[in-house]
Structure 1
Amino acid sequence: MACYNVMSVLTNNRVENVNEMQQVLTESGCIIKTRLGIHDAGKDFCSNEGLIVLHLIGSDYEISSLEKKLNEIPGIIAKNSQLCSD
């Protein structure tokens, strides 16, 4: 049975918390297999809200620790989901 850990990270203030969030993600870089960032952007507009989707590998402790650290940053909501095949 294969299991996948997918964490969604929503930030409602990208400009103010980007440095702290990036530091936490860098510290956990060895358990981040894939990272996808999504935000509204255009020629005259760049949203201050964003969504990051992480495909994680590593122990349950490492993943829950990352989730906890991200949730301690004001304006960030992080939730991990584990999806397993039968």
Structure 2
Amino acid sequence: MDRHLILGVHVTERLKHAQAIQEVLTNFGDTIKTRIGLHDVNGEISSPNGVLLLECIDKQDRFSSLKQDLSNIEGVEIKEIVFDH
């Protein structure tokens, strides 16, 4: 079965948590196919919050571990989208 596994990752105080998040993303580099980072920029000031969209390969155990590790970081909220084909 071909599935698209997407994680929406909302980050508050992103500068405070960026290092911990990057460490998790690096550890799961073999699981993440596409990574898109979004945050508001108003002139010279960036928003303290942001959103990551992660498209992952279809390995449920790695996907679950990635979700768990990100969820363990303070200021991170996860939403999951799975498209089954």
TM-score by length of 2: 0.93
In structure 2, the gaps of 5 or more residues are none
CA contact (8 A) 2:5 2:83 kept: yes
Q: Map residues 4-83 of structure 1 onto 2, 5 A cutoff.
A: 4-83=4-83
Return the letter of the residue paired with 1:75.
Answer: G
Moved over 3 A (4+): none
User: What is the alpha-carbon distance in structure 1 between the residues aligned to residue 27 and residue 9 of structure 2?
Assistant: 16
In structure 1, the gaps of 5 or more residues are none
CA RMSD of aligned residues (A): 1.2
CA contact (8 A) 1:67 1:79 kept: no
User: What is the alpha-carbon distance in structure 2 between the residues aligned to residue 7 and residue 30 of structure 1?
Assistant: 15
TM-score by length of 1: 0.92
User: What is the aligned residue count?
Assistant: 85
